[in-house]
Structures are given as structure tokens and as C-alpha cells.
Amino acid sequence: MKILITLGATREFFDPVRYISNPSSGKMGIAIANAARERNWEVEIVAANCSLPPPAGAKIFPVTTGAEMLNVAQKRFPRCDIFVAVAAVCDFRPKHFEPQKRKKDGNNLVVELVPTTDILKTLAAQKTSQQTVVGFAAETQDVEAYALKKLAEKNLDLIAANRVGYGNDGAFGSDDNAVVLLGANGFRKAFPLAPKTEIARGLIGEIAKFHAAKTGAVPPANS
């Protein structure tokens, strides 16, 4: 089994030293990679600005921006059986990049932001009947409602939804997480608060069952 995972937090630069990003540490993605390696799956990781060590035997492709992540993931996607998009990708980037550091002059600074390419939606549109695509929905409110909307709009097979926030209000940077895995057919499985390593094993188990049923490798699971 070949799994491709995106993880970490992308950065979009205003100038050579300033950027917008988010607090994602990459811990959930690395935990999923470890859980996949425990099953002896072939693991490839596209990691954005993540300092955590990958599991032994995994291939890792470091990137910085969303454009770089898309470029690498698109090249690796056709050969994977399962794609899990855990990365917290910036939804916007500065429209203009200043080649030199912008100096503070005491005036307000207004920066125009433009949307970045939706990596998950782009790759999900290319999936075959033998591939399973899993997204993550990191939300601050109405978690399951927003996740189900993303599941449909992005043509995903499954989506893992979790609440995030700054400090102690969410999963970013934490060793623990609570996740709900949702499917387009009404499937729902909740994973209560637990170490991300345990959550990852549970997610990989459910993803493996879904993929086997979808591709006809084994009869569909009853649970």
C-alpha cells in the first residue's frame, strides 16, 4: 500500500523575511505517517516547514509555500493508493512580493491578499477509482457542518474534522487531538480526545477498511 501525506504549515511571503502562516506543528501528520509505517505501507511525505523527524523508511519532500507543496504533491499523487491531506495550507497569499525587506516608517501597511490554489481539491479531481482521498477540516466552530461541506465540494472520500484554535483552545501544536471521521455515505466515527499517536492508528485503520471496500480488495466492512 502506498500512501502520500501532506503535513505542516505552508508560508506565504510578503518580502524576504516576513510571511503569513499558521500554528500547525505537523504532529498529526507525522503520527499518521508512523501509523502507516507500522502497517509496512510505503510512505511519502510532503512536509511544509516541519522540524519533526519522519518515521524510518519514509520518503520526505520538504517544501515552504503552497505552490511548492502543490508542485511536489502533483508529481507524487498518481502513484499513491491513498492520499491524506493533513497540511494546514494558507488559503491566501500576498498579491505582491517585495524583493527587499520593507522598512517600518510609522505608517499603516495595507496588503492585498489573493487566494492560493486549493491543493486538496485539485488532486481529488484527478483521483481514479482505485485511489482514496482523505482531507482534514480544521475548524473553530460548526466543525462537522463545515467538514461535510468540504467533503462534498472537494470530491473527497473521507474527511477528518477537528477543532483548532490559538493556545489551549485547539489541536494546533498539541500532543492530543479529538477527531470525527466523516464519509459521503453518512459514515461517522468519533475519536475522543487522546494522544495523536492513538488517533492516527484509529484513522489509518478506518481508512484502510474504506479503501479495501472501495477498490474491491475485500468485502466491505460491517463497522
Mean pLDDT of the 163-184 span: 76
Mean pLDDT of the 101-123 span: 93
What per-residue confidence (pLDDT) applies to 167? 53
Contact 156, 133 (CB under 8 A): yes
Of 106 and 73, the one with more pLDDT: 73
pTM of the model: 0.92
What per-residue confidence (pLDDT) applies to 175? 85
Is the pLDDT at 220 greater than 60? The verdict is no
The lowest-confidence range among 18-27, 125-134, 146-155, 162-171 is: 162-171
Quick one: which of 142, 28, 35 has its CA closest to 88? Answer: 28
Of 108 and 220, the one with more pLDDT: 108
Is the pLDDT at 156 greater than 80? The verdict is yes
Phi, psi of 182 (to 5 degrees): -125, 145
Contact 140, 164 (CB under 8 A): yes
Report the percentage of the chain scoring pLDDT > 90.
81
Q: CA end-to-end span of the chain, whole Å? A: 21
Q: Which residues are catalytic?
A: 22
What per-residue confidence (pLDDT) applies to 45? 98
Is the pLDDT at 216 greater than 90? The verdict is no
- Tens digit of pLDDT for each residue in 191-203? 999 999 999 999 9
**Dihedral angle sign, alpha carbons of residues 197, 199, 205, 207:** negative
Report DSSP letters for 111-173, one per residue: --EEEPP-HHHHHHTT--TT-EEEEEEEESSSHHHHHHHHHHHTT-SEEEEEE--SGGGSSTT
- Tens digit of pLDDT for each residue in 58-82? 999 999 999 999 999 999 999 999 9
As given in the structure block, the three cell numbers for residue 81 are 493508493
- Tens digit of pLDDT for each residue in 15-56? 999 999 998 999 999 999 999 999 999 999 999 999 999 999
Is the pLDDT at 166 greater than 60? The verdict is no
What per-residue confidence (pLDDT) applies to 14? 93
- Using CA atoms, how far apart are residues 64 and 183, in angstroms rounded to an integer? 30
Mean pLDDT of the chain: 92
- Using CA atoms, how far apart are residues 33 and 43, in angstroms rounded to an integer? 7
